[in-house]
Every structure is written in structure tokens, then in C-alpha cells.
Structure 1
């Protein structure tokens, strides 16, 4: 069953505690409103329902084909979206980390094209579709930011699933997750399984495991369970550079 919560939009918009919770959110720097004019940030906070807990992994946020009545902002944890083909095979479409918005691709078509579930225990905030559409129509800066997020998601998916070697895709993925989770920190705890990573990168699980082992043998990473430490991020960056999703500053991470 998909996660669901009802609320009074008027009460939400007028509640200063909710606006404060949004302003003080620890992932504010990654949120869709980061860097926007203060007025737009306050309006976003005014329609946000914050801190909705999804306590365990595998909790459904929404199902493919369901009416798209809201979008979610990840506050903690990780959400994955996926589709299931006619033979029952799951294909991971995306991973959403703190600050990412889940469900934006459904706004224009009225229903969710994918399933969304928690990868680990997570926490999300929610904005109704109607309130979001009203904000986008009246706040050009927010509308532009949302379009940038959608474009970025598409670019990331096309790049990581594109015509690059397995080594290049895995290196680019690690650097992308490192940047999103830790900035310049080199130890990253991957919330997702190797199988899910492989599905997202359009690779076999065994291939992803072999690539990680190869990186470890070269001294580029240390892999222990779900924690991967990037020992030579510059080498990974040089390998991943053609994929085009990693920032040059990662050369300097050490």
C-alpha cells in the first residue's frame, strides 16, 4: 500500500512552525529552493508538509499508474523509482537522496509513471500537486529551478546508462553519490544494493562487483560492505570525465 497522509492546506500554509522547519532543514543546501529569493523560499515552506516518516526499507511512496496528487522532497534516507516489465523484471530508474524531489515527472501527465519505494528508513516532505502548480505559475525562479531539476535527472540517467564502459559508469556513479552525500568527504555509505546499482547503470550485478574489485586492486577505493572510501578520486574522475556528470573540483578531493 502506498504511503498516504491527508492535511488541511490552509492550516499548513499559515503554520509558522512548518515554515521554520523548512528554513532550518539540514538538507536546505541541496533542496530545490536553495539560493532562491527569500520570498519564494517562504512560499515553498508555506505549502510544505514536513517530516513524514517512512520507517523501514521497502515502504511504498506511490505506485506506477496511481493518480499524481503530490510530489515529495527527501529529507533523510533514500528513495528509488523503478518499473517492472512484462516478465516481472525490476528496472531501477533513479535514486533520490536528501534534497531531491520525487514525482516531478508525473506532474504533466497526471499519474506516476514509476513505482517509488524507500531504500532505507527515510523521511520526506510533501507538496500537493495543486499547490505546486500554483507556485510554479506565480514564481518564475522556482519554475526555472524545477525545470533544471527535471533536466538534470534526465541528463544523469542518459549519461549513466549511455554508451560508456562499465568502469566509466561505475566511477561516475560513485563520484556523483560522493558529491551528493558528502561534498568533499571521501568515505561514502551507499544506501542502495549492488543489484540496484547494476540495474540503474544497465549492467549485470556481477559486472558492478568486478569493477569495484578492480578499482580496489588498483588502490583507487576501499570497499567494506556498503561503505566505499575513495582513495584516489582524481583517478576516478579522469576515468569518469567523458560521462560528463562530475565536476572538475573533484580532482582535488583527497
Structure 2
């Protein structure tokens, strides 16, 4: 079995999201020596299993993944969607086990960081320590986005708005979205029935807020979408 390929962070289009700001050439080379690409994952591939031992952090290089968590009753819930540049595994640092399973939603690739080696390197690179703290804080903010939404419409509008903002951060269109996840996955993530998702999406289309063609979504009126989240006023 061949070993994963060495990654070249300096030419990666996502380096502004993943890498510490102000990192020097020598520091970058030391960091690159730790990073490896995983094999290509295909739709429905399970990459990490819930409660498996924590050894690595991962960054999404391409594609999209979802995190899925089983409760004590064996019920499954989607707890997150991961776009290119997202770091996966930060919540496992304390418990030393992964709190959820990671499943590919499309043909996707991860960058892999051995955590113990990363800690040793961060002791010599204050900018790397600061970046790990920043990314941990960012993950908390993403998880808490629109958690105060009261209605089903606010929850779904908040999810779409958050996905739009994350796309824009990566240099992608904020109004042309590809929904790699199923409506069942979206429903599981925000805590409502798939039928409710379909009803609200039809309502948003009738109100000319957005249009959907299969898994392609176009946001026609970002301002009204934001108002629908309950976080802005008309």
C-alpha cells in the first residue's frame, strides 16, 4: 500500500483559511512536512468512526463531508457539514476520541495532520498555536450559528445564510450554492422533518427569495433571506 502524498501548502487555494498569518518560509516547510493527503473518498465512505481513538486532525482539501453522531438509543443525527478549508477533529483533543463519524458527501480528499507532531511543532511556532485556538473558536461559532432561531423558517433560513457566508469566505459564490447534502441530512442537522424542509423551500421560492433546481440553489434576495433568519429587520 502506497503512503499518502506529501502536501504543498504554499500553493493551496485554501491556505488563507488553514494556515497561520505571517508564517515564514522555514516555518511553512516544517508544517508541510507534517501534512499528508488522504486517499480519495467517495460518496458515503466512512472516514472516521465515532469513538475511535483520536490521532489526527484533518482539513478538507476538496469536496464535502458530514459529521454524524449516534445517541445511546442508536438514533443518528447530522451534527455538521464540512467544506474545503474546514478543520475536523478539534473537539476530540480533550476526550482523545472522535465524538462523531465522518462521512463523505461527494468525491473528496482530506489533508491529515498527526496531532502529537503538530503540538511539538506549535511549541516552536507561536503563530501555529494561535491558529489552533482561532480555529477552535471558529468551530464553536459555526456550531452556535442561529441557535436562537425560534421558528422552522428561521432555522432553515439561518442554515442557508450560514452556508452562503462560508462559501463566500472560500472565494466561491455566495448566491449560487450546490447542496451536496440531502434534504434528509439538512432536516437531521437543524432538527425538523424533511417534509417541513420541502414546505419551507417552496415558500421561499414562492416569495422569490431563492430558486432550486435539483441540488442547485440560487439566492435571489440575500437581504430578505437574512430577514427570514430573525437576525435582521426589514
- 3-state secondary structure, aligned to 2:145: helix
**Residues 44 and 105 in structure 2, CA contact (< 8 A), matched pair in contact too:** yes
Q: What is the RMSD computed on CA atoms of the aligned residues?
A: 2.3
Counterparts of 1:34 and 1:215 in 2: how far apart (Å)? 39
What is residue 225 of structure 1 aligned with on the other side? 214
Aligned residue for 1:212?
201
Q: Deviations over 1:141-193 (max 9, x none)?
A: 22222222222222222234444322222122212212323444411101111
Match of 1:252 in 2: none
Q: Secondary structure in 1 aligned to 2:94?
A: coil
Asked whether the equivalents of residues 70 and 76 of structure 2 are also in contact (C-alpha less than 8 Å), the reply is yes
- Deviation track 1:213-252 (CA, whole Å, cap 9, x = no partner) reads 1110100100111111000011112333629xxxxxxxxx
2-side partners of 1:124 and 1:242: how far apart?
34
Matched residue count: 228
Asked if 1:45 corresponds to 2:32, the answer is: yes
Distance 1:138 1:43, change over 3 A: same
Partner residue in 1 for 2:182: 193
Partner of 2:156: 170
Written as runs of structure 1 = structure 2, the 5 A alignment for 1:1-254 is: 18=6, 21-30=8-17, 32-33=18-19, 35-39=21-25, 40-50=27-37, 52-54=39-41, 56-182=42-168, 183-240=172-229, 242=231
CA distance, structure 1, for counterparts of residue 73 and residue 164 of structure 2: 34
Instruction: For residue 88 of structure 1, give the secondary structure of its aligned residue in structure 2.
Output: coil
In the superposition, the TM-score normalised over structure 1's length comes to 0.81
Query: Deviation of residue 6 (structure 1)?
Result: 6.0
Quick one: distance in 1 between partners of 2:186 and 2:48? 21
Look up the SS of the partner of 1:176 in the other structure: helix
Question: Gapped runs of 5+ residues in structure 2?
Answer: none
How much does 1:112 deviate? Answer: 0.9
Which structure: greater helix fraction? 1
Q: Which runs of 5+ in 1 are unaligned?
A: 13-17, 244-254
> Does the C-alpha gap of structure 1 residues 186 and 91 become closer, same or farther in structure 2, counting only changes over 3 Å?
same
Deviations 1:69-104 (A, max 9, x none): 111110111111111123322111111110011111
1:195 match: secondary structure: helix
